C-alpha cells in the first residue's frame, strides 16, 4: 500500500495515464512485452512505475528498472516518484554513470540506458529485475535501440527458465512500427496501448521571414513581444545549446529585471538566485551529443498559417525592447541537460507572484521534462547535432533544421493546461521542407563501441542482431576492422572462399584483450591504452589522459568575441594566462612531444593538486564541470582497471608527480597503440598543390589535408608524424589532441 499525500493524489488523478491503469496492468499481466504511447506530460514516466509497484512487481526478489536516455531525467524522475509515493530515495533510487543512491532496499530504480547495458554484461538474464521499462523510446538513442534488441531475447529466455520478466516500452509518439512491426525483434507483435492525452489546441504562428543567422535575437524579440502584449501564461523558448540559452536568459533578464519591490513576495531570494547564476558560461555543452540528442516524434496538432489573428504578433523587431522595464518582471530560467539539478528543479516550482515564467531550453524540454503552465512556445526550429563522416570519421557539430515531428512536439508543450500558441521563427515553406522524422541515432555515428560491447555479450554475428533500425553495413565493417586492428577481436582467416571470408570478416570473436577493453567505460581506442597502461608504472598517467580525452572540452573557449569593452581586456589577460599555463603543462624536453595530451595531463595533475576548485579552474581557463567529471572518471577507470588486474593496485593520487622521461616515451607508445589508425604525416614540400596546404597533414583516408590548431602545443613544432584524437571540422579541418610520433 502506498501512502500518498492528498495533494499528490489529486494531481495524479488529473493525469491521463491514470485512466488507463487497468488496461495497462492487464496487458502487462497477459503479455511479456507491452508498448505504451502517450503525449509528453501524460504521466508515463512518473506513474507507470507506481502501477507496477502497486501491482506487486517489486514485492518479491525482483525490482522495477526504468531506463532514460538522459541523465537529467533519471535523476529528477527518481526524486519525483519517491516524493509522490512518500518513499525514501533508498527505495526509489537512481543510477547514472558516475553516481547513484541505490541501496539494498531499492525497489524502483531509474537509470540511464548505458547503465543497464553494463548490467546486462554482468548478468545477461538481469535476474535482479522483474520488470524493465524502456522510457523515451521515441528518442531512438543508440543504447535504447540496443537494449530493446537485447531484451527481445532476454524476456523469452527468462520466461522459459521460469523466472518471468516483463518489458514495457514507452514512447511519446505513436511512431513505434520499428519496434512492433519488426519480425526479427518480436515474432508476436506486442500490444500497443495508447494513452489519450488531454491536449488543448495550439495555434501555430509562422514567421513570414526566416532569419538565417540571428535566431537567438529573433527569439529575444518574439519573447519580449509576447511578454508585453499577450495575456498571462508561461513562455518556453527552444534554442539549440547552452551558450545560446545563457545569452538569451541574460538579455531577457536585462529587459525585464526584478527590482526590490516590483514583485509582491520573495523577491530578494529570487533576485539572489538570479544573480548567482553564472554570468559568463562558455561551457560547450554540445560536447555531450547524447544528452542533447535528437528527436523522432509524431505530429499531432494543426499547423495552419494564421497570419493576422490577434495573437499573431508579427515578426518585426520592436523598438523599445532593449530598454529595461522592471514594471513587468519576467522570471527567466535556463534549462539544459548539464544544468545542476537544483537549478533544473526550479522550473517545476511556481514562478513568484506577479511574474511570468519564461524557460529558455534546449531539446531537453521537448519530451523528457514537462514544464507546467506553459502557454506560449517560441521555437527556433533548429537543433544542434554531432555529425560524423562515414568514411573518415571526421566529426562536427552542426546546427540544422529539426524535423516536422520534433517541431510539432515542441509546439505541443504549449497546450498542456489550456489552449496555447506556438511561434515558429521560420516560415511555413521552410517547415514544409523539414524532414518528417529524424533518423535513429545508430545510423548516424560510428559503432565500434557498440560492436565491442556486443561481442563481449558473445554476439559474434552483430549483423544478425535484431536492431530496431540496423546501422549501415559500412559502419559495421569499419567497426570490426578497427577492433581487429586494436587486438580486441580475433583476426579472420585469410583463406577460403571469398564469400566465407566476407562472412568471417563480420563475425570475428572477441579476444581476452577485447574482454578487458569492454569492461572499461570508454571508447575502444582509449580502452586499448588502458589495457597497456600497467607497463612502466604508467597507469595513473594513462588513466588521466584517457579521462581527459573522454570528457571533451576541458579548456574554456577563449576565442569567442567578448560582450563588452571591459570583458575584452579581461579576456586578453585571461588568454595570456592560459597560453602561459598551457606552455607550463606541456612540460619540457621529451614530454613536449606528447603534445596536447601532455597539456591535458598537466592540467589534470595541477587541478587535482589544487583540490579541483572552481577558483583554480576559473583562473586557469579550465572548465570546472569538465574537471569534476574527469575526477569522477579517473576514479571509475581506476576501479575498472583494478577489477581486471588486481595485482596492479592502481589508485588515484591527488599529488601525482609529472611522468619521468622514460615514462613519457612509454606513454607515447601507448598512445600510438590506441590511436594508430589516426596517423597523419606532414604534407611534403613537393606535394603542396595549393598554398593553403602549407603546414597541412595528410591522412590515409582524406584527399585534402588536415591541420594542427593554433592552440595546440604542437602548432609551432609541426612534427613529421602525429597521431590525433579526432578531426573536427570547424573553420578548417583541425586535428584535436595531437601527439608526435617518432619517424623510424
Ligand atoms: P510523461 O512521462 O508522460 O511525459 P511525466 O510522468 O513525466 O509524463 O509527467 C507527469 C506530470 O508530472 C507532468 O504534469 C509534470 O509536470 C509532473 N512532474 C514531473 N516531474 C515533476 C516534478 N519534479 N515536480 C512537479 N511536477 C512534476
Ligand atoms: Mg516521460
| Closest ligand 1 atom to 47 CA | 6
Does residue 40 have its Cβ closer than 6 Å to ligand 1? yes
For residue 275, report the distance from its CA to the centre of ligand 2, in Å: 31
Question: Hey, which bits of 18-139 come out as E strands?
Answer: 33-38, 63-68, 92-95, 108-112, 129-134
Higher-pLDDT residue of 728, 316: 728
Does residue 38 have its Cβ closer than 6 Å to ligand 1? yes
Sequence-ordered alpha helix ranges (H) in 468-553: 473-485, 498-505, 512-518, 524-532, 539-550
Does residue 346 have its Cβ closer than 6 Å to ligand 1? no
For residue 345, report the distance from its CA to the centre of ligand 2, in Å: 16
DSSP 392-427: T--EEEEEEE--HHHHHHHHHGGGSSS-EEEEESS-
For residue 80, report the distance from its CA to the centre of ligand 1, in Å: 8
Q: Are 102 and 64 in contact (CB under 8 A)?
A: no
- What is the helix (H) or strand (E) element at residue 13, kind and residue range? helix 6-13
- Residue-wise pLDDT for 408-421, tens only, equals 999 999 988 889 99
To the nearest 10°, the Cα dihedral for 373, 379, 385, 390?
Answer: 130
**Residue 696 cell numbers, joined:** 597541412
- What is the helix (H) or strand (E) element at residue 177, kind and residue range? helix 177-180
Atom 26 of ligand 1 has which residue's CA nearest to it? 348
Q: Are 336 and 361 in contact (CB under 8 A)?
A: yes
Q: What mean pLDDT do residues 116-125 have?
A: 92
Determine the residue of 24, 41, 373 to mutate for testing ligand 1's pocket, defined as the one with the most ligand atoms within 8 A of the Cβ atom.
Answer: 41
Q: Which among 359, 522, 514 has a CA at the least distance from the CA of 452?
A: 514
Residue 310, pLDDT > 50, answer no
Q: Are 158 and 165 in contact (CB under 8 A)?
A: yes
Q: What mean pLDDT do residues 33-59 have?
A: 95
The pLDDT confidence band at residue 292, using thresholds 50, 70 and 90, is very low
Q: Are 351 and 357 in contact (CB under 8 A)?
A: yes
Q: What mean pLDDT do residues 311-317 have?
A: 57
How far apart are the C-alpha atoms of 434 and 426, rounded to whole Å?
11
Q: Which among 416, 319, 331, 356 has a CA at the least distance from the CA of 231?
A: 356
Partner residues linked to 309 by β-bridges: none
Q: Are 585 and 603 in contact (CB under 8 A)?
A: yes
Determine the residue of 8, 24, 43, 48 to mutate for testing ligand 1's pocket, defined as the one with the most ligand atoms within 8 A of the Cβ atom.
Answer: 43
Residue located via cell numbers 579526432: 726
Q: Which among 217, 172, 142 has a CA at the least distance from the CA of 41?
A: 172
The pLDDT confidence band at residue 267, using thresholds 50, 70 and 90, is very low
Partner residues linked to 680 by β-bridges: 722
What per-residue confidence (pLDDT) applies to 606?
Answer: 94
For residue 744, report the distance from its CA to the centre of ligand 2, in Å: 56
Q: Three-class SS of residue 507?
A: coil
Does residue 409 have its Cβ closer than 6 Å to ligand 1? no
For residue 524, report the distance from its CA to the centre of ligand 1, in Å: 37
How far apart are the C-alpha atoms of 38 and 193, rounded to whole Å?
8
Q: Which ligand ends up closest to the CA of 371?
A: 1
Residue located via cell numbers 495575456: 231
Q: What mean pLDDT do residues 458-479 have?
A: 90
Atom 23 of ligand 1 has which residue's CA nearest to it? 80
- Residue-wise pLDDT for 512-530, tens only, equals 999 999 988 889 999 999 9
Provide the CB-side half-sphere exposure for 433 (13 A, CA): 9
CA distances from 692 to 697, 705, 733 (A): 11, 9, 12
How far apart are the C-alpha atoms of 584 and 546, rounded to whole Å?
20
Phi/psi at 34 (5° precision): -135, 140
What per-residue confidence (pLDDT) applies to 218?
Answer: 94
- What is the helix (H) or strand (E) element at residue 222, kind and residue range? helix 215-229
DSSP 38-50: E-TTSSHHHHHHH
- 43-57, 254-268, 289-303, 519-533: the lowest-pLDDT one: 289-303
CA distances from 268 to 142, 274, 355, 370 (A): 45, 10, 14, 27
- 75-89, 132-146, 491-505: the lowest-pLDDT one: 491-505
Residues 6+ away with beta carbon under 8 Å from 481: 505
Provide the CB-side half-sphere exposure for 421 (13 A, CA): 23
Q: Are 329 and 258 in contact (CB under 8 A)?
A: yes
The pLDDT confidence band at residue 559, using thresholds 50, 70 and 90, is low
Q: What mean pLDDT do residues 473-499 have?
A: 87
- Residue-wise pLDDT for 48-88, tens only, equals 999 999 999 999 999 999 999 988 889 989 999 999 999 99
Does residue 67 have its Cβ closer than 6 Å to ligand 1? no
**Residue 5 cell numbers, joined:** 499525500
Mean per-residue pLDDT over the chain, rounded: 85
Determine the residue of 44, 51, 80 to mutate for testing ligand 1's pocket, defined as the one with the most ligand atoms within 8 A of the Cβ atom.
Answer: 80
What pairing do the DSSP bridges indicate for beta strands 697-698 and 679-682? antiparallel
* Number of other CB atoms surrounding residue 589 within 10 Å: 8
The pLDDT confidence band at residue 369, using thresholds 50, 70 and 90, is confident
How far apart are the C-alpha atoms of 700 and 677, rounded to whole Å?
9
DSSP 581-631: HHHHHT-SGGGGGGHHHHHHHHHHHHHHHTTS-HHHHHHTTB-HHHHHHHH
Q: Are 347 and 362 in contact (CB under 8 A)?
A: no
What per-residue confidence (pLDDT) applies to 533?
Answer: 86
What per-residue confidence (pLDDT) applies to 279?
Answer: 27
Does residue 344 have its Cβ closer than 6 Å to ligand 1? no
CA distances from 74 to 123, 187, 304 (A): 22, 31, 36
- What is the helix (H) or strand (E) element at residue 664, kind and residue range? helix 661-675
**Residue 567 cell numbers, joined:** 570583458
For residue 371, report the distance from its CA to the centre of ligand 2, in Å: 12
* Number of other CB atoms surrounding residue 561 within 10 Å: 7
CA 443 from chain centre, in angstroms, equals 16
Edge-to-edge strands, sheet with 202-206: 202-206, 420-424, 374-379, 234-238, 356-361, 330-335
DSSP state letter for 16 = G
Does residue 348 have its Cβ closer than 6 Å to ligand 1? yes
Q: Are 233 and 330 in contact (CB under 8 A)?
A: no
Q: Which ligand ends up closest to the CA of 370?
A: 1
* Number of other CB atoms surrounding residue 286 within 10 Å: 22
Does residue 403 have its Cβ closer than 6 Å to ligand 1? no
Q: What mean pLDDT do residues 488-511 have?
A: 81
CA distances from 106 to 5, 16, 297, 467, 523 (A): 21, 27, 33, 31, 31
Phi/psi at 230 (5° precision): -105, 155
Q: Are 311 and 420 in contact (CB under 8 A)?
A: no
Q: What mean pLDDT do residues 35-58 have?
A: 95
Amino acid at each position: 500500500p502506498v501512502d500518498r499525500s492528498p495533494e499528490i493524489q489529486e494531481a495524479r488523478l488529473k493525469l491521463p495515464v491514470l485512466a488507463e491503469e487497468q488496461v495497462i496492468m492487464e496487458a502487462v499481466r497477459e503479455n511479456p512485452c507491452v508498448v505504451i504511447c502517450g503525449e509528453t506530460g501524460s504521466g508515463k514516466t512518473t506513474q507507470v512505475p507506481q502501477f507496477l509497484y502497486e501491482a506487486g512487481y517489486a514485492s518479491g526478489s525482483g525490482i522495477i528498472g526504468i531506463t532514460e536516455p538522459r541523465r537529467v531525467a533519471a535523476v529528477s524522475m527518481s526524486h519525483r516518484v519517491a516524493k509522490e509515493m512518500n518513499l525514501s530515495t533508498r527505495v526509489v533510487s537512481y543510477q547514472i554513470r558516475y553516481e547513484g543512491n541505490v541501496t539494498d532496499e531499492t525497489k524502483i530504480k531509474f537509470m540511464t540506458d548505458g547503465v543497464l547495458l553494463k548490467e546486462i554484461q554482468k548478468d545477461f538474464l538481469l535476474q535482479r529485475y522483474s520488470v524493465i521499462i524502456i522510457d523515451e523510446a521515441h528518442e531512438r538513442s543508440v543504447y535504447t535501440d540496443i537494449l530493446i534488441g537485447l531484451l527481445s531475447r532476454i524476456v523469452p529466455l527468462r520466461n522459459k527458465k521460469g523466472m518471468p520478466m516483463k518489458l514495457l516500452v514507452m514512447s511519446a509518439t505513436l511512431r513505434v512500427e520499428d519496434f512492433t512491426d519488426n519480425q526479427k525483434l518480436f515474432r508476436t507483435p506486442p500490444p500497443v496501448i495508447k494513452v489519450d492525452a488531454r491536449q488543448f489546441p495550439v495555434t501555430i504562428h509562422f514567421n513570414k521571414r526566416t532569419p538565417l543567422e540571428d535566431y537567438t535575437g529573433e527569439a529575444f524579440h518574439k519573447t519580449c513581444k509576447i511578454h508585453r502584449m499577450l495575456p498571462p501564461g508561461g513562455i518556453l523558448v527552444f534554442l539549440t545549446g547552452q551558450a545560446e540559452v545563457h545569452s538569451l536568459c541574460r538579455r531577457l533578464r536585462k529587459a525585464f529585471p526584478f527590482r526590490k519591490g516590483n514583485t509582491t513576495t520573495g523577491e530578494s531570494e529570487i533576485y539572489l538566485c538570479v544573480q548567482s547564476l553564472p554570468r559568463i558560461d562558455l561551457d560547450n555543452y554540445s560536447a555531450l551529443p547524447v544528452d542533447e540528442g535528437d528527436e523522432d516524434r509524431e505530429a499531432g496538432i494543426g499547423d495552419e498559417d494564421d497570419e493576422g489573428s490577434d495573437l499573431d504578433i508579427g515578426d518585426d523587431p520592436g523598438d523599445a525592447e532593449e530598454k529595461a522595464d522592471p514594471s513587468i518582471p519576467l522570471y527567466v530560467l535556463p534549462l539544459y541537460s548539464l544544468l545542476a539539478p537544483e537549478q533544473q528543479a526550479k522550473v517545476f516550482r511556481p514562478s513568484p507572484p506577479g511574474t511570468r515564467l519564461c524557460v529558455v531550453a534546449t531539446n531537453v524540454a521537448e519530451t523528457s521534462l514537462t514544464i507546467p503552465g506553459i502557454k506560449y512556445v517560441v521555437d527556433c526550429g533548429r537543433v544542434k547535432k554531432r555529425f560524423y563522416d562515414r568514411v573518415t570519421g571526421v566529426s562536427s557539430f552542426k546546427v540544422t533544421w529539426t524535423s516536422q515531428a520534433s517541431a510539432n512536439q515542441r509546439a505541443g508543450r504549449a497546450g498542456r493546461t489550456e489552449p496555447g500558441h506556438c511561434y515558429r521563427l521560420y516560415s511555413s515553406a521552410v517547415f514544409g521542407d523539414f524532414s518528417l522524422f529524424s533518423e535513429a541515432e545508430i545510423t548516424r555515428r560510428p559503432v565500434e563501441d557498440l560492436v565491442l560491447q556486443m561481442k563481449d555479450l558473445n554476439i559474434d554475428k552483430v549483423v544478425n542482431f535484431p536492431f530496431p533500425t540496423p546501422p549501415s553495413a559500412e559502419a559495421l565493417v569499419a567497426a570490426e576492422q578497427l577492433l581487429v586492428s586494436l587486438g580486441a577481436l580475433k583476426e579472420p582467416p585469410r583463406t577460403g572462399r571469398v564469400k566465407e571470408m566476407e562472412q568471417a570478416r563480420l563475425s570475428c570473436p572477441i579476444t581476452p584483450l577485447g574482454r578487458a577493453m569492454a569492461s572499461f567505460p570508454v571508447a575502444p581506442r582509449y580502452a586499448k591504452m588502458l589495457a597497456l597502461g600497467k607497463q612502466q608504472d604508467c597507469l595513473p598517467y594513462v588513466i588521466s589522459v584517457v579521462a581527459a580525452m573522454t570528457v571533451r572540452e576541458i579548456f574554456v573557449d577563449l576565442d569567442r568575441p567578448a560582450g563588452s569593452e571591459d570583458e575584452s581586456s579581461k579576456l586578453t589577460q585571461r588568454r595570456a594566462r592560459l597560453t602561459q599555463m598551457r606552455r607550463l603543462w606541456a612540460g619540457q624536453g621529451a614530454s613536449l612531444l606528447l603534445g596536447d595530451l601532455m597539456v591535458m595531463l598537466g592540467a589534470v595533475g595541477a587541478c587535482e593538486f589544487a583540490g579541483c576548485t572552481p577558483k583554480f579552474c576559473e583562473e586557469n581557463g579550465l572548465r570546472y564541470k569538465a574537471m569534476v567529471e574527469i575526477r569522477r572518471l579517473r576514479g571509475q577507470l581506476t576501479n575498472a582497471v583494478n577489477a581486471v588486474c588486481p595485482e596492479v593496485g592502481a589508485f588515484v593520487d591527488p599529488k601525482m608527480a609529472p611522468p619521468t622521461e622514460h615514462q613519457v616515451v612509454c606513454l607515447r607508445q601507448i598512445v600510438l597503440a590506441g590511436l594508430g589508425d589516426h596517423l597523419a604525416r606532414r604534407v611534403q614540400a613537393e606535394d603542396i598543390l595549393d598554398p593553403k596546404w602549407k603546414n597541412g597533414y595528410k591522412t590515409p583516408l582524406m584527399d585534402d589535408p588536415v591541420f594542427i590548431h593554433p592552440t595546440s602545443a604542437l602548432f609551432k613544432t609541426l612534427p613529421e608524424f602525429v597521431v590525433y584524437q579526432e578531426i573536427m571540422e570547424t573553420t578548417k579541418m583541425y586535428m584535436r589532441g595531437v601527439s608526435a610520433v617518432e619517424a623510424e
